[in-house]
């Protein structure tokens, strides 16, 4: 297996991006449109994504994901080893705050214009503790309080 042969120098992680950021129209990903027909069967999309992450984890392969929707980590984060905040959301306050509460390392991309300062600022924000509106375990609105993510 490739992972075993390079494990001293490289950690192989499966890229499992289930959401697609869009500047214009287009398919928005497996979670929001799992049937590729515009039906927006998000419930089924979350089930499929979770099962796929679980299957990959069962193989002993860590997974990576890009978080676009700030609610989806509540359903999938326990199966993810590394996360990205993309170029279109790296400057978003709520994404930075969300990253502060994630239990995995988070990478921030530079903006679509190539600005790396916003990624650096995002890392600083994610290291700090925050309070923000989120969804609790019972599906109700809650005020989430984070300790900061030193792994970003």
- Specify the CATH architecture of the domain 2-145: Alpha-Beta Barrel (3.20)
35-66: string of b/e by CB count within 10 Å (b at 16+)? eeeeeebeeebbeebbebbeebbeeeebbbbb
Percent helix, strand, coil in the chain, to 5, is: 30, 15, 55
Q: What is the pLDDT along the chain (152 residues), one digit of tens a residue?
A: 677 788 889 988 999 999 998 778 889 999 999 999 999 999 999 999 999 999 999 999 999 999 999 999 999 999 999 999 999 999 999 999 999 999 999 999 998 899 899 999 999 999 999 999 998 888 899 999 999 999 75
């Amino acid at each position: 297996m490739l992972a075993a042969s390079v494990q001293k120098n490289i950690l192989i992680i499966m890229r499992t991006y289930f959401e697609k950021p869009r500047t214009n129209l287009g398919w928005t990903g497996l979670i929001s449109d799992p049937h590729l027909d515009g039906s927006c069967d998000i419930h089924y999309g979350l089930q499929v994504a979770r099962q796929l992450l679980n299957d990959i984890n069962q193989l002993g392969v860590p997974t990576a994901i890009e978080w676009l929707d700030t609610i989806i980590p509540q359903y999938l984060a326990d199966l993810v080893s590394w996360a990205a905040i993309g170029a279109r959301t790296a400057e978003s306050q709520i994404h930075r705050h969300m990253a502060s509460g994630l239990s995995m390392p988070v990478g921030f991309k530079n903006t679509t214009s190539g600005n790396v300062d916003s990624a650096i600022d995002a890392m600083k924000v994610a290291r700090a503790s925050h309070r923000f509106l989120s969804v609790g375990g019972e599906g109700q609105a809650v005020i989430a309080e984070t300790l900061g993510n030193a792994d970003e």
